[in-house]
Amino acid sequence: MNRMEVLVAACALWLWSANSAAHSDLLAFPQPLLRLLQPSTVVVLGEKHRQPESPQFVTRLAEAYLHQGGCLAVALEITSDQQPTLERVLAGELPVGSIQVFQGIDHPPYRIMIERLANLMQAGHCLTVHAIDEPTNEKGSRDAWMARAVEGLLTEQRAVLALIGNLHAVKTVHWEPTVLKPKRFLAEHLVDAGLVVVSVMQSWPEAASSTPLRATLVPAGAPAGITAVSRITGILAAYPPKTPEDVTDWVITWTTEAGFR
């Protein structure tokens, strides 16, 4: 899928989102992102860690893509030295609790996601799951390490879905001069490598809610997208982006409200 095809898909997706009043529950209706999840394309899906909706959504998205006949590699923010253990878990040889996951990322829905991905693999779907993060004994750039891992997964027949912290989905940062060691995040590394990359961030309410949350996919330049991008990137010592699309392409907003925002 070339960049023009991605642009056409994105335009179709925007028209769909702008004209549908009943599309907000993406857990039940993942087709919008399926338009972007295409062979030879990397979808970098940012998240706020330990939010149950995120791994649940990844599971549903993977199921939908695989059931329509696609091939998919799911890349997770787990250190790559856990890959042998992960593969044994995916094969059903070890319990999912055997995998070491960063404490700030680990929570029961995350491990349930891995179990369900394992079920899809064991059912014969064209799916692989990968631990792409830098091992703790390495001293290089985490994002550069993850970018090399993701590049190695991409083929003409296979899409890559990377579930990663929101900031790793940033495509461009204009750092302030006070930042002595400016860094590039995962998405920027992939863009600079010439890959077809779709960046999607996720935004949750500031306050916890007992009400089930519903998801809306909005362009980064839409009002809700601009607000979310500003909140997510506000912790960086960086100049404001020229456009929200410099940072990310899309934002999934999780709210208690139904309908398009």
* 64-120 residue pLDDT tens: 999 999 999 999 999 999 999 999 999 999 999 999 999 999 999 999 999 999 999
Helix (H), strand (E) at residue 203: strand 196-203
Query: What does the pLDDT read at residue 15?
Result: 37
Lowest mean pLDDT among 10-14, 131-135, 166-170, 235-239: 10-14
DSSP reduced 3-state for 89 = helix
Indicate whether 224 belongs to any domain: yes
Sheet containing 250-255: order of strands: 127-133, 71-79, 158-165, 41-47, 196-203, 250-255, 214-219
CA 59 to chain CA mean position, Å: 12
d(CA 240, CA 242): 7
For residue 19, pLDDT over 70 is answered with no
Q: Give the domain CATH number at 84.
A: 3.40.50.11550
Please give the backbone phi and psi of residue 53, each rounded to the nearest 5 degrees, phi first.
Answer: -65, -30
For the chain, what is the domain count?
Answer: 1
18 within a domain of the structure (yes/no): no
Q: Is 81 helix (H, G, I), strand (E, B) or coil?
A: helix
Asked if residue 26 belongs to a domain, the reply is no
Query: What's residue 207's pLDDT?
Result: 82
Measured between alpha carbons, how far is 96 from 79 in angstroms, rounded to an integer? Answer: 15
Mean pLDDT, rounded, for 19-31: 44
> In the predicted model, what is the mean pLDDT of the chain?
88
Percent of the chain with pLDDT over 90: 78
Beta strands in 48-126 (DSSP E): 71-79
- Contact, 163 vs 53, CB < 8 A? no
Q: What is the model's pLDDT at position 139?
A: 85
Q: Length of the chain in residues, anyone? A: 261
pLDDT value, residue 3: 52
pLDDT value at residue 30:
53
* Alpha-carbon distance values, 23 to 28, 177, 228, 250 (Å): 9, 43, 19, 15
Q: What is the pLDDT of residues 191-239, one digit of tens each?
A: 999 999 999 999 999 888 788 888 889 999 999 999 999 999 999 999 9
pTM of the model: 0.88
Q: Give the residue numbers spanning the domain of 131.
A: 3-9+32-255
Look at residue 81 and tell me if it is in a domain. Answer: yes
pLDDT at position 199 is 98
Has residue 142 been placed in a domain? Answer: yes
Strands of 35-142, DSSP E? 41-47, 71-79, 127-133
